[in-house]
Structure formats: structure tokens, C-alpha cells
Amino acid sequence: MTTRPGAATGRLAWPVAALALVGLAVLVLPLVTLVARAPWADLPELVARESVREALVLSLVTAVIATGLCLVLGVPLAALLARAADWPTLPRRLLRAAVTVPLVLPPVVGGIALLMLLGRRGPVGSLLEAWFGVGVPFTTGAVVLAQVFVALPFLVFAVEGALRTADRRTELAAATLGASRWQVFRHVTLPVVAPGVAAGAVLCFTRALGEFGATITFAGSLPGVTRTLPIASYLAMQTDPDEAVALALLLLGVSVAVLLALRDRWLPGVRG
Amino acid sequence: MPRRAAALLAATLGVALAGCAPVADGAGSPATGDSSGSDQVSLTVFAAASLTEAFDELAARFEERTPAVDVRLSFGGSSALAQQLVEGAPADVFAAAAEAPMQTLVDAGLVEEPVVFATNTLELVVPAGDPAGVEGLADLARDELRIALCDPSVPCGAASDELLRAEGVEAAPDTLESDVKAVLTKVSLGEVDAALVYRTDVLAAGDAVEGIEVPAAASVVNRYPIAAVTGSAAADAAAAFVAFVTGDEGRQVLDGAGFGAP
């Protein structure tokens, strides 16, 4: 409750600082231990294994495709969400909840839901099977869908944050000067929010890369087809912990590299 | 305000920590015959996923016999459970679906003499009505069918591999699941056309699935070992539970679930 100017800035009170350090330790210590316990000497051999390489390639390819899909679907959804600020309360809250739910849902629940919808006895899956003879579960496409489901909100919120802070007057000016809605979106809005879009895409990519629960539930686990790096790591943990740690390090390395490249940019974007 | 927040935080932490504390009261006290009744012994049993139904019943019967013991069951792939034990998971009894995962623990010096208490064989399983017209093991090679198998790293997968190799069938699986119950779920949902699971799982699944006997499966037998974990805080209860499972009543329950005699 101290509102003296200056008290809010400067150093933290010691209990706050101490708890902050404990909080940081909770986040960082497990990962530091992982790095410390890694079988560094055997690492080249472990990473060179066919099974590991296969999982890494599958993870990278599916995560890139999922990120692309998230961009195509997420930027318009973010635009809709930003526009919804002028809507009545209930529809606005429903829309926001719909976009937020996959963010807080256990991914396994997402996987079950996807399986119920797109499984061969699901309302959409059965139609796809009847009309085109294609089944979605157990395919690489199912991996991408699972990743899109869990990663899309990250992109939407990053872009929406950028859209809301963007100055609407430029858009209005362009419209007054005769630009169509599409021209305004393409030439005014998009360039302004480009940094937000880039940040969202990178977050989206790392989230897709780490997807496990929805994938194993909806897409299954078959080497080279649906067995991504997280699943391979989980399975390896049952028989060969060294390989599991090597796989985990790969994932950690890629994620940290991507986040470091982002610097502080992503934080302002991710607001529920 | 800060003080109140701190108190709240402390209280929350306290509750959280209490929740983490091992439930060790009464540890070491005799499992049976203690009429005080106040000190319950908690017995944690790690068991293979394929033992789910049988051990649920066994645990219920055992608790009825020895009210002082509270049995807590954790089911999963045998290999994963064995690995968890190696990493220090607090279990008192381990029951595996094959001897290999148990051997991991024997080598690590974590269990006493394992005893084989049941056997199991594989069976072909299809969704009710057999929509894809699966007739035998050879159908697992049909590329157009959707097939689920256990991953070779878990016992049911290792057995499946052995059976398929012995019969010269080049299976075309669409997914390799991490335990037998996950495979069974994919069949009962109708998401796959056929799979290999244990015959006990087919029995447990009821009407949702149909089993197709595979004559050659009789030659690939999984032997289920059980053992008490060394240094268990509830050593007496653990020994009593192992004796119960390997005893007459245990045999009767396992028989009912479709397990073969050791």
C-alpha cells in the first residue's frame, strides 16, 4: 500500500526478492540438472541414432507447417478478437474464452476432443472416411492438427496485443483516402503488427515443437510418421534414460535458442 | 497488506508442503493383527497395465482381509514403472508383465526374490462386429487396415514382435502405443481395425471388442513376476500382499481374469 514516489522503483523488499529467487530456482534448477546430468560423452552417438534423427526431422517439419497454418488462421482471428472490443459483453467474452481455453487445457484433453471429432466414428472423421476414404488419426497430418490446436492461441494473443496498441488513425486515414478494407489490412495494419506476428510465430513454433499430450492421444506414436521428439523422449525414458536425456536436451536447446533470439519482445504480446 | 499476503503465502506453502510429505505414519508397524486401528499402513503397488482389473479386485479383497492396510495402485507400462522405481519412486510392491523389466530392478538391487505368479498370451482383437473382416494374424500385414501394436520397448510389444516374427508376418502398424491398455482403447473406440493385446485384456474389455484366438500365440508366453521392494517402509504389508497374490485366493482372482497359472 506504499504509494510514496520512489518506493515502487529501486530495490525490492527482501522477502519479495527472496521469494522471487526461489521462484526462479523452481523454474531453472530442473533444467540445469538436466544439462549437468546429460551423457555428454555419448551425446554425438545418441543424437546420430536413426530413431533420434527421425524424430527430430518429424518434429521440425510438423512444427514449421503448424506455425504456417497458425499464421494463416491466427492473424485473421486476432484481427477479429481486436475488433470484438466494440462488441456486447457476452459474445466478446465467449470469443475470448474460446481462444483461451486451449491455452489452459491439459493437451491430453485436446487430443481426446480431436479424436472424438476427427476419429473414424466422429462426426467429421466419419464423413471424411466415407467421402474420401481418408482417416486423420495416426497420420502426420494429425500431428500438425494437434500442434495447431495447442499453439494457435499463442499466435492470436501476440498479434492481438500488437493490434490493440497499434494506432488506428493510420487505418482510418488510409480508408478515408479510398483504400479498400483489404488494402488497409494488407498495406497498413499488417506492417504495423509485423513484429507482433513474428514474435507470435516463434512462440507458436516452440509450443508446437514441445507438443506431447494431444499428439500421443490423437496421432499415436509410429517412428517416422507420428513419433515426434517429445514422444520419442517419453518412450526412451522407459528403457534408455540416456537417450531420453539426449532427446530432452535437443528440445531444450532448440527452444532456448529460439527464445533467446526473441529477447524481450514476446512478453508484452502474451496477455490473456 | 504485505504482511497479510506473506501470511497467506506461508499458509499456502505449508499446505502444499504437507501434501508432499510422504505418508509414512505407521510405517514399519505390523500389517495385520494390530487392533489399535488408528495407524493405517499405506501400501503402494506398481503393476503392469494388463493387471488393472485383476489387481483392482485383489487389492479390494486384500483390504477387506487386512483393514489396517490401505492399498494404492499405480498402473502403467511395466518398463516405465520399472524406470520410475529406479529413479526412486516410493513403491512397496512391483508386479510386471514380463521378466525383463523386473530384471532391471533385480540388477539395481531394488527388489527381493521375484516370484512368477501368472502367465498371459496374446490374442488378436478387433472392434465389435469386426468391421474390417479380420480373420487371423496374417491380416496385420494388410496395409489398408489400421493396426495398433504395443511399442517393442514394453512387454506386450516385445511379445507381439516375437509372435509376428515366428509366424513370418510383416505387420503394418499405424501406431505403437506405450502400454497395452492404450492399444485396447484404440480398438474399443473403433479407431483401429485390429491389434494384438493380451487375452486377459480382451476379456476385461467386454462387448466393445471381439477376440480372435491365435493358435501360435501359445508359444509366446509372458511370465508375470511380483516382488516386494527392498527397504520398503511397509515391508510386512508388502510381504503379506505378495503372499496373497501368489496364494490360493490370488490364483482364483487371476484365473477369473483369464491369466494362466505360473
Please return the burial class of A126, using the count of CB atoms within 10 Å of its CB with bins 0-12, 13-18 and 19+: middle
CB B48 within 8 A of CB B96: yes
Are the Cβ atoms of A120 and B174 closer than 8 angstroms? no
Question: Of the candidates B248, B237, B222, which has an alpha carbon nearest to the alpha carbon of residue B66?
Answer: B237
- Residues from chain A contacting residue B153 (CB–CB below 8 Å): 235, 238-239
Most B CBs within 10 Å, among A124, A140, A218, A221, to test the B interface = A221
Identify the pLDDT of residue B122.
96
Identify the pLDDT of residue B30.
41
SS3 B75: strand
Identify the pLDDT of residue A186.
85
* d(C-alpha B211, C-alpha B194), whole Å: 10
Cα dihedral value A221, A225, A226, A229, nearest 10: 100
Identify the pLDDT of residue B4.
53
According to DSSP, the residues that pair with B224 across neighbouring strands are B118
- Residues from chain B contacting residue A239 (CB–CB below 8 Å): 79, 83, 153
Give per-residue pLDDT as tens, B223-254.
999 999 998 889 999 999 999 999 999 999 99
- Residues from chain A contacting residue B80 (CB–CB below 8 Å): 237-238
- Residues from chain B contacting residue A212 (CB–CB below 8 Å): none
Of the candidates B9, B77, B174, the beta carbon closest to that of A138 is on B174
Which grid cell sits at A3? 504509494
Identify the pLDDT of residue B29.
39
* d(C-alpha A197, C-alpha A79), whole Å: 12
Pairing of strands B93-95, B222-228: antiparallel
Interfacial residues of B (vs A; Cβ cutoff 8 Å) = 1-2, 6, 9, 77, 79-80, 82-83, 146, 148, 151, 153-154, 173-178, 186, 189-192
Question: What's the predicted TM-score (pTM) here?
Answer: 0.80
Are the Cβ atoms of B175 and A221 closer than 8 angstroms? yes
Amino acid at A41: A
Which grid cell sits at B229? 521392494
The residue of chain B with its CA nearest to that of A231 is B178
- Residues from chain A contacting residue B178 (CB–CB below 8 Å): 216, 221, 234-235, 238
Are the Cβ atoms of B175 and A220 closer than 8 angstroms? yes
Identify the pLDDT of residue A263.
63
- Provide the shortest C-alpha distance from residue A38 to chain B (in Å): 15
* d(C-alpha A158, C-alpha A198), whole Å: 9
- Provide the shortest C-alpha distance from residue B174 to chain A (in Å): 6
Q: What share of chain A has pLDDT > 90, as a percent?
A: 51
**CB neighbourhood size of A169 (10 A):** 8
Pairing of strands B41-48, B93-95: parallel
Question: CA-based diameter of chain A, in Å?
Answer: 70
Give per-residue pLDDT as tens, B32-70.
444 444 578 999 999 999 999 999 999 999 999 999 999
Question: Of the candidates B150, B170, B168, which has an alpha carbon nearest to the alpha carbon of residue B160?
Answer: B150
* d(C-alpha A67, C-alpha A71), whole Å: 6
Q: Both ends of chain B: CA-CA distance in Å?
A: 66
| Average pLDDT of chain A, as a whole number | 87
Per CATH, the homologous superfamily of domain A41-265 is MetI-like (1.10.3720.10)
Are the Cβ atoms of B9 and A19 closer than 8 angstroms? yes
Per-residue pLDDT, averaged over A216-221, amounts to 92
Q: How confident is the model at residue A4 (pLDDT cuts 50, 70, 90)?
A: low
Are the Cβ atoms of A234 and B177 closer than 8 angstroms? no
- Provide the shortest C-alpha distance from residue A142 to chain B (in Å): 12
- Residues from chain B contacting residue A238 (CB–CB below 8 Å): 77, 79-80, 82-83, 153-154, 178
Q: What share of chain B has pLDDT > 70, as a percent?
A: 85
Ordered domains of chain B (ranges, CATH): 3-119+223-256 (3.40.190.10), 122-219 (3.40.190.10)
Are the Cβ atoms of B83 and A234 closer than 8 angstroms? no
Helical H segments across B122-198, by residue range: 155-167, 180-188
* d(C-alpha B62, C-alpha B65), whole Å: 5
- In this prediction the ipTM stands at 0.77
Q: What share of chain A has pLDDT > 70, as a percent?
A: 93
Identify the pLDDT of residue B190.
92
Identify the pLDDT of residue A264.
57
Distances from the Cα of B39 to the Cαs of B10, B66, B69, in angstroms? 29, 13, 9
* d(C-alpha A186, C-alpha B5), whole Å: 48
Q: How confident is the model at residue A9 (pLDDT cuts 50, 70, 90)?
A: low
Of the candidates A19, A138, A239, the beta carbon closest to that of B79 is on A239
Identify the pLDDT of residue B60.
96
Sheet containing B147-150: which strands, arranged edge to edge?
B175-177, B147-150, B194-198, B122-127, B209-212
Q: How confident is the model at residue A48 (pLDDT cuts 50, 70, 90)?
A: confident
Of the candidates B174, B176, B191, the beta carbon closest to that of A119 is on B191
Identify the pLDDT of residue B18.
44
Distances from the Cα of A177 to the Cαs of A168, A189, A191, A192, in angstroms? 14, 15, 18, 18
- The residue to which cell 504482511 is assigned: B3
Identify the pLDDT of residue B165.
96
Question: Of the candidates A233, A257, A229, which has an alpha carbon nearest to the alpha carbon of residue A244?
Answer: A233
List of chain B residues with pLDDT < 50: 1-2, 8-37
